[in-house]
Structure 1
Amino acid sequence: MSKAAMPKSGVSLAPEAVRTWNSVEVDPITLRVIGGALDSMAKEMAQVLYRMAYSSLIRESEDLGAGIFDVSGRELCESDSTPMHCGSIPAYIKGVNRRLAGTYKPGDVILHNHPYHGAAHSPDYGIVIPIFWNDEHIGFAGCTGHVSDIGGNFPGLCMDVVDVWAEGKLMDSMKIYDGGVRNDMLIQHILDNVRTPEQNRGDLEALISCARIGERRFLELLEGYGLDTVMSASETWMSYSETMLRNRIKELPNGSYEAPVGYLDDDGKNRGVPLKVSVRVDIEDDEVLIDLTGSNEQVPTAFNVPFEGSVLPVAVSAIRTILLDEETTQEYVPQNDGCFRPVRAYAPEGTIFNPDFPASCFARFSQVNRVFDSINLALAPILPDHAIAGSSSALCAIAYSGVAEDGESYWVYIEINEGSYGGRNGRDGMDAVDALMANTRNNPIEELELNHAMRAERYELRDESPAPGRWRGGIGSVRRWLMMTDTFLGSEADNRSDAPAGALGGADGRSGSFVRNPGTDREEVLYSKVTQEVVHAGDTLEIRMPSGGGFGNPFERDPFAVLHDVWDEYLTAEEAERDYGVVVDTERWVVDDEATERLRNGAKMS
Structure 2
Amino acid sequence: MGSLGYSQKKIRIAIDRGGTFTDVHAYIPGSSELEMVFKLLSVDPRNYNDAPTEGIRRVLSHFRGKSLPRDEPLDITDVESIRMGTTIATNALLERQGERVAFLTTRGFRDLLVIGNQARPHIFDLSIHKLQKLYDTVVEIDERVTMEEFLENPEKEPIDINSDDALVEGLTGEAVRILKRPDIEVIREQLRHLQTEEFNSLAICFIHSYLYPNHEDQVAELARSMGFEVSVSSELQPTIKMVSRGNSATADAYLSPLIRRYVKNFGSGFKGGLDAEAGKLLFMQSDGGLCLWQKFSGLRAILSGPAGGVIGFARSCYDPDDKMPVIGFDMGGTSTDVSRFSGTYDHVFETETAEVTLQTPQLDINTVAAGGGSILHWKNGLFAIGPDSAGAHPGPVCYRKGGPLTVTDANLFLGRLRPEYFPAIFGPEENEPLDFDATAYAFKNLTDKINAEEGKSFTPEEVASGFLRVANESMSRPIRSLTEGRGIRTSEHVLATFGGAGGQHACDVADALGIQRVVIHRYSSILSALSEMKTDQFASEFGSLTAEAGETLAAQGFTDQQIEYELYLNLRYQGTNSSLMIQKPSDSWDFSRKFIEHHEEEFGFVLDREILVEDIRVRALDKTAGTENMSVSSALKAVDIRLAPQKKSAKTTRVYSQNQWHEVNLFKLEDLEAGEKVPGPSIILDQTQTILIQPGWAAVVLPRHHLLDREETTLEDTVSEDPGVVDPIQLSVFGHRFMSIAEQMGRSLQLTSVSINIKERLDYSCAIFSPQGGLVANAPHIPCHLGAMSYAVAYQAERWGNTLRPGDVLVSNHPAAGGSHLPDVTVISPVIDEHNNEVLFWTASRAHHADIGGIAAGSMPPHSKEIWQEGASFTSFKLVNNGKFDEEGLAEIMLKKPASYPGSSRTRTWSDNVSDLKAQIAANQKGIRLIHESIKEYGLPTVQKYMLGIQDNAEKVVRNLLRQVHDQFSGLPLEAEDQMDDGSKLVLKIHINRDEGSAKFDFTGTSREVYGNLNAPRAITFSAIIYVLRSLVKEDIPLNQGCLAPINVVLPAGTILSPSLGAATVGGNVETSQRVTDLVLRAFQAAAASQGTCNNLTFGTGVKSLMARRDQVSTIAGDAGAGPTWAGQSGVHVHMTNTRITDPESLERRYPCILHEFGIRKGSGGQGKFSGGDGCIRHIEFRRDVQVSVLSERRSVPPFGLCGGKPGTPGENLWIRKDEYGLREINLGGKNTCQMRKGDHIIIKSPGGGAYGKLV
Q: TM-score, normalised by structure 1?
A: 0.81
Task: Give the alignment partner of residue 523 of structure 1, picking from 1225, 1230, 1237.
Answer: 1225
SS where residue 857 of structure 2 aligns?
A: coil
For residues 366 and 407 of structure 1, the distance between their equivalents in structure 2, rounded to whole angstroms, comes to 28
Structure of larger gyration radius: 2
Partner of 1:85: 785
For residues 49 and 546 of structure 1, the distance between their equivalents in structure 2, rounded to whole angstroms, comes to 33
1:253-402 aligned at under 5 Å gives the runs 253=966, 254-259=971-976, 261-266=977-982, 274-285=983-994, 286-307=997-1018, 309-322=1019-1032, 324-325=1033-1034, 329=1035, 332-364=1036-1068, 365-380=1070-1085, 387-402=1086-1101
Partner of 2:815: 115
SS where residue 523 of structure 1 aligns?
A: strand
In structure 2, give the amino acid aligned to 1:244. V
Partner of 2:1137: 438
Task: Tell me by how many angstroms 1:350 deviates.
Answer: 1.4
Task: Tell me by how many angstroms 1:404 deviates.
Answer: 4.0
Task: Tell me by how many angstroms 1:179 deviates.
Answer: 1.9
For residues 537 and 120 of structure 1, the distance between their equivalents in structure 2, rounded to whole angstroms, comes to 35
Task: Give the alignment partner of residue 450 of structure 1, picking from 1149, 1160, 1176.
Answer: 1149
Task: Tell me by how many angstroms 1:424 deviates.
Answer: 1.6
In structure 2, give the amino acid aligned to 1:218. I
Partner of 1:10: none
Per-residue deviation, residues 409-454 of structure 1 (Å, max 9, x unmatched): 3222221011111112332111111111112222222222222222
Query: What is the total number of aligned residue pairs between the two structures?
Result: 512
For residues 167 and 76 of structure 1, the distance between their equivalents in structure 2, rounded to whole angstroms, comes to 31
For residues 1171 and 1014 of structure 2, the distance between their equivalents in structure 1, rounded to whole angstroms, comes to 32
Task: Tell me by how many angstroms 1:215 deviates.
Answer: 1.1
Matched, 1:491 2:1202: no
Matched, 1:211 2:916: no
Task: Tell me by how many angstroms 1:245 deviates.
Answer: 0.6
For residues 1084 and 829 of structure 2, the distance between their equivalents in structure 1, rounded to whole angstroms, comes to 39
Partner of 2:58: none
Task: Tell me by how many angstroms 1:27 deviates.
Answer: 4.0
In structure 1, give the amino acid aligned to 2:797. N
Partner of 2:776: 76
Task: Give the alignment partner of residue 167 of structure 1, picking from 870, 875, 883.
Answer: 870
Task: Tell me by how many angstroms 1:278 deviates.
Answer: 2.0
Partner of 2:1252: 551
Counterpart contact for 1:56–1:413, Cα < 8 Å: no
Counterpart contact for 1:477–1:544, Cα < 8 Å: yes
SS where residue 1064 of structure 2 aligns?
A: coil
Task: Tell me by how many angstroms 1:517 deviates.
Answer: 0.8
Counterpart contact for 1:469–1:505, Cα < 8 Å: yes
Per-residue deviation, residues 43-100 of structure 1 (Å, max 9, x unmatched): 2212222333333332233222111111110111011011111211111112223432
SS where residue 1101 of structure 2 aligns?
A: strand
For residues 440 and 153 of structure 1, the distance between their equivalents in structure 2, rounded to whole angstroms, comes to 24
Partner of 2:948: 235
In structure 2, give the amino acid aligned to 1:284. N
Structure with bigger RCO (C-alpha 8 Å, 6+ apart): 1
Task: Give the alignment partner of residue 534 of structure 1, picking from 1235, 1238, 1245.
Answer: 1235
After the TM superposition, which segments of 4 or more aligned residues of structure 1 sit over 6 Å from their partners? Answer: none
C-alpha distance 210-221 of structure 1, shift in aligned 2 (>3 A): same
Task: Give the alignment partner of residue 197 of structure 1, picking from 887, 910, 920.
Answer: 910
Per-residue deviation, residues 363-411 of structure 1 (Å, max 9, x unmatched): 212112111111112221xxxxxx1122111121122233347564322
Query: Kindly, what percent of the aligned residue pairs are identical?
Result: 27
Task: Give the alignment partner of residue 180 of structure 1, picking from 874, 880, 883.
Answer: 883
In structure 2, give the amino acid aligned to 1:247. N
Partner of 2:318: none
For residues 790 and 1206 of structure 2, the distance between their equivalents in structure 1, rounded to whole angstroms, comes to 39
Task: Tell me by how many angstroms 1:499 deviates.
Answer: 1.1
Task: Tell me by how many angstroms 1:133 deviates.
Answer: 2.7
1:111-150 aligned at under 5 Å gives the runs 111-135=811-835, 136-150=838-852
Task: Give the alignment partner of residue 463 of structure 1, picking from 1143, 1162, 1185.
Answer: 1162
For residues 864 and 1139 of structure 2, the distance between their equivalents in structure 1, rounded to whole angstroms, comes to 26
Task: Tell me by how many angstroms 1:191 deviates.
Answer: 5.2
In structure 2, give the amino acid aligned to 1:511. P
Per-residue deviation, residues 222-245 of structure 1 (Å, max 9, x unmatched): 111111111111211111110011
For residues 998 and 1028 of structure 2, the distance between their equivalents in structure 1, rounded to whole angstroms, comes to 14
Counterpart contact for 1:264–1:496, Cα < 8 Å: no
My pick for the range that moved more, 401-410 or 457-466, is 401-410
SS where residue 313 of structure 1 aligns?
A: helix
SS where residue 554 of structure 1 aligns?
A: coil
Partner of 1:16: none
Task: Give the alignment partner of residue 246 of structure 1, picking from 959, 977, 986.
Answer: 959
C-alpha distance 235-173 of structure 1, shift in aligned 2 (>3 A): same
C-alpha distance 101-465 of structure 1, shift in aligned 2 (>3 A): closer
Task: Tell me by how many angstroms 1:190 deviates.
Answer: 4.7
C-alpha distance 150-206 of structure 1, shift in aligned 2 (>3 A): same
For residues 930 and 1073 of structure 2, the distance between their equivalents in structure 1, rounded to whole angstroms, comes to 33
In structure 2, give the amino acid aligned to 1:148. A
Per-residue deviation, residues 157-184 of structure 1 (Å, max 9, x unmatched): 1233342222211112111111212223
In structure 2, give the amino acid aligned to 1:419. G
SS where residue 206 of structure 1 aligns?
A: helix
SS where residue 1066 of structure 2 aligns?
A: coil
Counterpart contact for 1:263–1:497, Cα < 8 Å: no
Partner of 1:594: none
Task: Tell me by how many angstroms 1:349 deviates.
Answer: 1.5
Counterpart contact for 1:311–1:368, Cα < 8 Å: yes
For residues 503 and 131 of structure 1, the distance between their equivalents in structure 2, rounded to whole angstroms, comes to 46
SS where residue 1110 of structure 2 aligns?
A: strand
SS where residue 208 of structure 1 aligns?
A: helix
Q: TM-score, normalised by structure 2?
A: 0.40
C-alpha distance 468-215 of structure 1, shift in aligned 2 (>3 A): same
Task: Tell me by how many angstroms 1:200 deviates.
Answer: 1.7
In structure 1, give the amino acid aligned to 2:1022. L
Partner of 1:409: 1108
For residues 43 and 368 of structure 1, the distance between their equivalents in structure 2, rounded to whole angstroms, comes to 25
For residues 408 and 500 of structure 1, the distance between their equivalents in structure 2, rounded to whole angstroms, comes to 40
1:541-580 aligned at under 5 Å gives the runs 541-555=1242-1256
For residues 217 and 405 of structure 1, the distance between their equivalents in structure 2, rounded to whole angstroms, comes to 45
Task: Tell me by how many angstroms 1:359 deviates.
Answer: 1.7
Counterpart contact for 2:1102–2:1187, Cα < 8 Å: no
Task: Tell me by how many angstroms 1:518 deviates.
Answer: 7.7
C-alpha distance 111-527 of structure 1, shift in aligned 2 (>3 A): same
Residue segments in structure 1 that go unaligned for 5+ positions in a row: 1-21, 267-273, 381-386, 556-606
